[in-house]
Structure 1
Amino acid sequence: MERYVIQAAYKTLQVLLAFTHAPHRFSLAELTELTGMDKNQVFRAVKTLEHAGFLSSEPDGKLVLTSVVNALTASNHRTAAVSLPRAAAGHMYRLFEQTGETVGLYAYDGEQAVCIDLLESVKAIRWASLIGKHLHLHAGAGAKAILAYLDPKAQQAFLGKLHTLPKYTPRTITDPELMRREIERTRERGYAVSDREYDAETRAVSAPIFSASGRVVGSIAVGGPAFRMADEHLQIYGHMAVGTAAEISAEMGFLRLGSRVSSTS
């Protein structure tokens, strides 16, 4: 650790930042697991944050953020004014240059993902989409990356309607249990994979983007024709998308400390 960093303060901030992740209320044991810290360290950090007015306990014993955090957020004028397209612009173009494939930016809109920006590959055969196009969250990498990081209540509500949604290709998942497994795989990797499930000739990867409050607000996707997007390309582009999404999230005001606290919502 950096020599001038106060370790106790750093660990306390790790605990505080854990509350940017769903369900935004935790027990001491859950915070210990989420941060990867020693239980006694977490206990001392929690007591410090409670004493400072950042945390409070609910009747069931779960810890939640107080309005003090809202006041800090409201005072951050720079990040509050940053829109998703503005935050993503430069990072999106760099990903486009690095991959040579089409890059799409998606925003979460109700129970759908909407394409709000697109940089199409200059290759003769490429993945093409339309700005303004809405996608159900069960098909397409950009949509599934958002679904995987929704808060549990919204995610469960969507899964309850899954059987009513269109099956675009034989690979489209419309079974809730299969989708739960897909969500788990997405969260383990950090990015979603679309393997010819929305378009029979397209494969893509996508990573989620988070707002200053830690909620998923969109995703960034890289895709191309299936014959050019081999498994190794999906893995490479997937990790690149994760890095790009993290940079965009930081532009939006989302911050995290420590390697054990992953971007969730």
Structure 2
Amino acid sequence: MSRMDLSGRCVLVTGGARGLGAGMAQALTAAGARVMIADVLKDAGEQTAAGLEGGGFVELDVTDDAAWENAVAHTVAEFGGLDVVVNNAGIEVTALIVDVDPDETRKMLEVNILGTMLGLKHGMRAMRPGGAAGKGGTIINIASVAATIAFPAIGGYSATKSAVDRLTRVAAAESGKLGYGVRVNCVYPGLVATDMGMKLAVETAGIGLFESPEAAVGAVVELTPSGRLGEVSDMADAVVFLASDASRFVNGAGLPVDGGMGM
């Protein structure tokens, strides 16, 4: 049996309705897992879940503590357990530091940092000994290459994704110290041509940093030794690896999946 086989694993993916999250959910399902998509986008989430064999959907605002408790309980009840949480939900606000909008930035902090922290909280509570699932497991946080590079107009976003990196390592240390049996790692995706990725290209061009969205994309490619943008499958395969026994001794780590951009 392949070490990448996830048969029998129960997974919850936040922000799984579309984009990277949907690709991750599909790849995890293809590896044999049952996947619960958790998202604020009910219609899109249900549609994506309908395409997953054995999949499900639960509505979740990742900034809401009670909603997290419900989403985890629903997953355990529907699937009979919880082995993997993928904290993928996130938002990006493009702005020069001199033009930062406090309200928009505060929302980004809540989704990207608090949302990840609550996912860690409820995931570890469920998977630790005595929890609703109680068999240990793994949590995968989605950070960004933005946590490792200095790129203009994403100061707030970079700060939130740097925080995700630190949360990952602290959670891994706590889990080990307290005997939870939960591995915690993160992924640093490079730029992918999803709606969010292309929004960044359009907006950085709009504030005059690049002549056009195409020039913005070209600048990213030029900074990437692999010479291309990332693809959803690149990120999804990395998540399957971290969810699997192939990564059984990988813990408290950040995995760059950025074509070398952040080296």
TM-score, structure 2 as length reference = 0.27
State which structure, 1 or 2, has the greater radius of gyration over its C-alpha atoms. 1
Higher-helix-fraction structure: 2
TM-score, structure 1 as length reference = 0.27
Higher-strand-fraction structure: 1
